Amino acid sequence: MKNISLLPSEIKKQKESRQKQRIAVIAGIGVLGVLLLAFGGLYTAASVERAQVAEQEERIENLEERIGELEKYAQMKEEVEEMKDHLREAMGNAPPWDIFLAELSGSIPGNVWMGNLSADFEEEEEGGTVNISGITHSHEDLSSWLQKLYRLDYLDNIRCRYSEKTEGDFVTEVHFNIQANLKPGEPYEMMMEGGE
């Protein structure tokens, strides 16, 4: 079957032209829709990126604030360490006098009397000297005490500088002088250091 058109050719051309315009409009709308979708996607992606950048900037700002706070603590720690160094220097490494004197007094036999005790301790020389003078009844008593002195922790190089026996009417006395090196104690440490 053949189609015979009774319409003039101008109308036919107009109809075809409208058809082409509709197709062009639909294609344009399609392209515009695709462009709008692409723009919407890019806008959404850019918004997400801006939000992430803002979040990271906020985190950086918070971290910088914390660093500022922690720098105060670092400075305080340096000041504490400096104070500890001054305290160690002030305390030095003198022997613990209370322990030394308790050991010394505990070593004295009942028949030995100490008349004088002097101690000289110099930090720079890493030690000092102790001079002890007194009276006893015999050289054996003095010797016995010297043996006990050798066992004391803070004395070294113990020597009897002189001992002199004197006979009295009723009593025999031995006057003596003992000299020893005084060992330094441990360097001063803070009580809370080392987890104690």
CB neighbour burial string for 73-86, b if at least 16 within 10 angstroms, e if fewer: eeeeeeeeeeeeee
Phi, psi at residue 63, to the nearest 5°? Answer: -65, -40
Beta bridge partners, 112, equal 136
Rounded to a whole number of angstroms, the CA Rg of the chain reads: 51
Beta bridge partners, 118, equal 131
Please report which confidence band the pLDDT of residue 3 belongs to, taking 50, 70 and 90 as the band edges.
low
- The letter for the amino acid at 153 is D
Q: Rounded distance, CA 74 to CA 68, Å?
A: 10
pLDDT digits (tens, 9 = 90+) for 148-190: 999 988 888 999 899 998 887 788 899 999 999 888 877 666 6
Residue 25: both structure tokens together = 């409009």
Phi, psi at residue 31, to the nearest 5°? Answer: -65, -45
CB 176 within 8 Å of CB 162: yes
Q: Mean pLDDT, to the nearest integer, of 118-127?
A: 75
Kindly give, in sequence order, each residue whose CB lies less than 8 Å from that of residue 174, ignoring residues fewer than 6 positions away.
135, 136, 137, 138, 139, 141, 142, 163, 164, 165, 166
pLDDT given at position 89: 75
Residue 184: both structure tokens together = 């330094």
CB 62 within 8 Å of CB 91: no
Task: Please tell me whether the overall predicted TM-score, pTM, comes out greater than 0.75 for this model.
Answer: no
Residue labelled with tokens 């996607």: 41
Q: Identify the residue with better confidence: 92 or 109.
A: 109
